[in-house]
Structure 1
């Protein structure tokens, strides 16, 4: 299996400056700050997007998360457990030191082992058991068994400088002392929680960017971001509130750019505990139930059948979402076209509840964070109404994400609204994260403790199957099995919208990243 340096014309055009002679400053308003500028500290979408301005990776993901060459010009599978990456010559770090295979080895060593990481990059490196530097521009990665997804996994590992990274702490990257990469921009200033300022790398190997300086400002309140754009204080805003989209489309000096993302809003229910978690489920009089109704497939089918996903798209998200009937969007590898959309059927749902022994329903509490998932509070309120129509009397409880994540990790909640973004562009990453039995290296975001040994075995098989057609079939069958179990109930895929001044063009990113490299002057 060999990859040659071949990019789609549209993607290549995006990577090159539209007007190389035009130099200007760019001001972008973000909804939330990165938790760190250390590219290996926290596997987080905002952090990873910021890292891409300063650092490159061996392979890259385009706007649709398709893999292309990065610091590696090509790669080849030499045998079942050895990948060889041929590196670009003539690439330099921002300080002028040459990039070599030794920097790749150093990065792969550091990425999974940063102290106090809240979400380690070890997920993407765990299959690598060693490497051999053949020469300064060739490195072989040795894996623990077949690893067909390795070229995808390394696309999220930033390559850092051994010279500047040796003994450097996360604080050194925050301050900028160690923030020296091979990427299109250099870090000029970082005020945590307030702004990041970058200046362009005039010697960038992939073509000089058109922006002299890029300033990211942190503006958490949606209406404040909108106001800043309309006042001309910023050129671009991320995460346009769905409530403001229609108004902004009426503005002659504003352009909106929308795209379906990899991020899904879904429900996860407790199928692990035989007795309901205290305070989460009760009978209609408020008394504890002797057994957990969520362990009955008919109950879970009823909950899913009662939800009108199209109404959530239109009424809750003002059309700025796409209904979800499986765990990855249609364009993803492993999407199963044979899975039929769930038909909303309250009458059928009531019949299923009666068959399960709950003709009069019962009471539940539905939880969500109120500061991380788009329109989360409105979503759970609408679902509570829909479940109420089939006899599931639902109380909604919301809380800050910092509290919510801790409670879900401690297995304190039974019915939960979550979101998930498939960072690899393939269904295996999603299945590993939220459908695999929780424990060990996999299932870290499986909050409802769903567990199906056959599903686990199929996921493990997919992860070591090199033949793409066979792997696709395994993933599609696994997706069908997970959907049939209804422990994870998909609702919608997010549509992310960016707003820019009239003279700019933005290419929406499936991973929701806000990138200066995706912005160009309008023709």
Structure 2
């Protein structure tokens, strides 16, 4: 996992015309229908090997080709189907995964449960440090049930283990291709480059088009299997460009080389604030920035000491408290994040994340520290006077001359982070200044990422700024505890203060409690109780200094790409397009602004249940490039969120400056009036979703024989008799041709016949009322009309004959 993405990864979605060096070596111009992700995180992938990419925490673009079982909507920390149709515990030791039967690799072969089992076990292999190798300690076995079903069987100590959901997020690949490679390369499988375009054979919506040390470009798979179930990815290309400097990223954004900017590009916020007609963001009505970008909360930043090196800091809680009271974290956050965050609690859990306020042990925080409140939870109060008071109590010296403890000078440490991570750099610079005001002097040092990471892993640092996980896991809010108590295996995985090395007994106790916590339903009373109990173990000790917690800002141009998540029409997607497959969720929603729906009609307005209706949708493309477009018919009026049920869907290419008509057939079994909607994604009042949904009404009526209660068996015969008798009256009248007497006689016969008809009609009416159904009443009404018509003829005839 890329840690900078946890706090302020500058991940920028870019939609532009660009030139790239393909693998073959020749330059070519990409179409304007290109979606870019600007990667400013940590290390860049060296190969296109899914095992390596996942093991090193660098799945940049990989999961667009080697599709995971699910994608993470990182706003809520929930999983959404990709290869897997559904999943869940069938009992407390069995986690079942069901693959879409339509799923297939790019060569047309099916994605089977055997492929998924093979992939997961490869990621769980400790020989090459697979990304699931720690998680796989909880797994007894993986078993195939049938072609599309597999079970992950958990060990006895891991019932209902929520962390098993991590397996849903890793790249899946073909056993037929990768088993021989693993047999050949063995423990060195991570060194296999996998750059032969003709052999990669993923299952995702994109294929690798070009790869270099600063750019990755993916080409859309036109016959992607997900099209069959409505998983459309419309950008023709998906690119990832390595970029670190926020100034360069802002310049690209300002010049409209970039359509959306996130991460930490401070200048972009002022720029878009001054030009609201051209740009969009989450809540366009909000005045405070933390509310403008509230859909994308991150984790919490911390200042982690090297407790194995700094004995004075490790052995003295009073010193850690003094250093914390000396920091005005609210001011640091305001200056570093321009109103996008606030001070974070010593529980190290961002209160903007789902369920965190319920899980925070407010009592243990208030009982151990002087506190104030930020975002609804207690945080440690800024109190430099108290910090000096603590130093005076334990040390010799003064604010002006500095402090010593047992003859050892306090301070002289170096605070470290990555060059180019401007928010972290600014935070450390402010900490240096604030500590100097209480008489403790330190230095700051900003390294190239590799150097910084290496110093952290080899424990050569004094203090390093780090990040605690945000919503980048399918078991929020528990994932934040991983950064406190899991074994430290890489820069971003495991305890940020190395609890297992520094305090091994506490570390094991905490991990056991965490395992118990992961076995409980998230949100349950027992889960909340145990989480609060776990906080009693570390909150009072203040092993790290809590810094700010904040939301990731995001702004976009509104004149080229649309369907951004907004407060009016949200969908669960964090703006970061990297890490844990969130890029897939983003690309699954994008629509080109230049394509609009010119007309929408239904072939029929009223139908019987199950009767086929053809919807005709005409699309106009006002742009200068061909664009993919997905038409989805939904049953129900447009609404925020996921929207109503999709009943038909089809994708097409709309030519530049041209039109395209798409026809979709569908049927509805339920009777009644139904709203059929196209362009549901345009719901909302902002420029981020231009235009409006179009709705038509379809009436599905019941067939006559299905309306109301059954018709009594003798009712049709009674009706027929009434009509026949009336017809006899008419015939009798017509037979009177010679004399008035004949006419009179005929009239009398007609009256008799009419009276008989009336009696039959009354019988029919009574039967209808007994049936009580609409159909019976309709039948009688039809009969009465027929009788009236016939009798009218009788009286006309007899009247003429009588005169």
Offset at 1:466? 5.5
Give the structure 1 partner of residue 480 of structure 2. Answer: 430
Question: Using a 3 Å threshold, how does the CA distance of structure 1 residues 114 and 179 change in structure 2: closer, same or farther?
Answer: farther
Superposed counterparts of 1:57-456, under 5 Å? 57-64=68-75, 65-113=77-125, 120-145=131-156, 146-168=159-181, 169-170=189-190, 171-205=192-226, 206-251=230-275, 252-256=277-281, 258=293, 259-272=295-308, 276=310, 292-325=312-345, 326-330=347-351, 331-332=353-354, 335-336=359-360, 338=362, 339=365, 340-357=378-395, 360=398, 361=403, 362-371=410-419, 373-422=421-470, 423-424=472-473, 425-436=475-486, 443=494, 445-447=496-498, 451=503, 452-453=506-507, 454-456=509-511
Is 1:51 aligned with 2:76? Answer: no
Secondary structure (helix, strand or coil) at the match of 1:139 reads strand
2-structure distance, mates of 1:115, 1:456:
23
Give the structure 2 partner of residue 4 of structure 1. Answer: none
Give the alignment partner of residue 531 of structure 2, picking from 468, 475, 494. 475
Give the alignment partner of residue 462 of structure 1, picking from 510, 517, 522. 517
Number of aligned residue pairs: 484
Secondary structure (helix, strand or coil) at the match of 2:349 reads coil
2-structure distance, mates of 1:322, 1:465:
30
Offset at 1:518? 5.1
Secondary structure (helix, strand or coil) at the match of 1:186 reads strand
Is 1:501 aligned with 2:563? Answer: no
Deviates more, 1:394-403 or 1:107-116: 107-116
Question: Using a 3 Å threshold, how does the CA distance of structure 1 residues 477 and 417 change in structure 2: closer, same or farther?
Answer: same
Offset at 1:383? 0.6
Give the structure 1 partner of residue 548 of structure 2. Answer: 492
Deviates more, 1:69-78 or 1:262-271: 69-78
What TM-score, normalized to structure 2? Answer: 0.55
Question: Using a 3 Å threshold, how does the CA distance of structure 1 residues 313 and 236 change in structure 2: closer, same or farther?
Answer: same
Question: Using a 3 Å threshold, how does the CA distance of structure 1 residues 391 and 138 change in structure 2: closer, same or farther?
Answer: same
Deviates more, 1:83-92 or 1:440-449: 440-449
Unaligned runs of 5+ in 2: 1-30, 182-188, 283-292, 366-377, 404-409, 566-571, 593-688, 691-803
Unaligned runs of 5+ in 1: 1-22, 277-290
Give the alignment partner of residue 41 of structure 1, picking from 46, 52, 59. 52
Offset at 1:247? 1.9
2-structure distance, mates of 1:47, 1:395:
31
1-structure distance, mates of 2:262, 2:245:
11
Secondary structure (helix, strand or coil) at the match of 2:144 reads strand
Superimposed CA distance per residue, residues 204-246 of structure 1 (whole angstroms, 9 cap, x where no aligned partner): 4242222222233333332222222333334334435123321
Superimposed CA distance per residue, residues 161-188 of structure 1 (whole angstroms, 9 cap, x where no aligned partner): 2233333455444454554332232222
Secondary structure (helix, strand or coil) at the match of 2:52 reads coil
Question: Using a 3 Å threshold, how does the CA distance of structure 1 residues 211 and 269 change in structure 2: closer, same or farther?
Answer: same
Superimposed CA distance per residue, residues 139-182 of structure 1 (whole angstroms, 9 cap, x where no aligned partner): 11112232421452123222222233333455444454554332
- Looking at secondary structure, tell me which structure has more helix per residue: 2
Superimposed CA distance per residue, residues 460-481 of structure 1 (whole angstroms, 9 cap, x where no aligned partner): 3223445743233222332353
Offset at 1:256? 4.5
Deviates more, 1:37-46 or 1:125-134: 37-46
2-structure distance, mates of 1:404, 1:214:
30
Residue 324 of structure 2 contacts residue 545 of structure 2 at CA under 8 Å; is this kept in 1? yes
Larger Rg over CA atoms: 2
Question: Using a 3 Å threshold, how does the CA distance of structure 1 residues 317 and 437 change in structure 2: closer, same or farther?
Answer: same
Question: Using a 3 Å threshold, how does the CA distance of structure 1 residues 240 and 345 change in structure 2: closer, same or farther?
Answer: closer
Give the structure 2 partner of residue 513 of structure 1. Answer: 577
Residue 31 of structure 1 contacts residue 221 of structure 1 at CA under 8 Å; is this kept in 2? no
Secondary structure (helix, strand or coil) at the match of 1:482 reads helix
1-structure distance, mates of 2:487, 2:307:
11
Offset at 1:498? 3.6
Give the structure 2 partner of residue 10 of structure 1. Answer: none
1-structure distance, mates of 2:53, 2:342:
29
Residue 133 of structure 1 contacts residue 139 of structure 1 at CA under 8 Å; is this kept in 2? yes
Residue 175 of structure 1 contacts residue 190 of structure 1 at CA under 8 Å; is this kept in 2? no
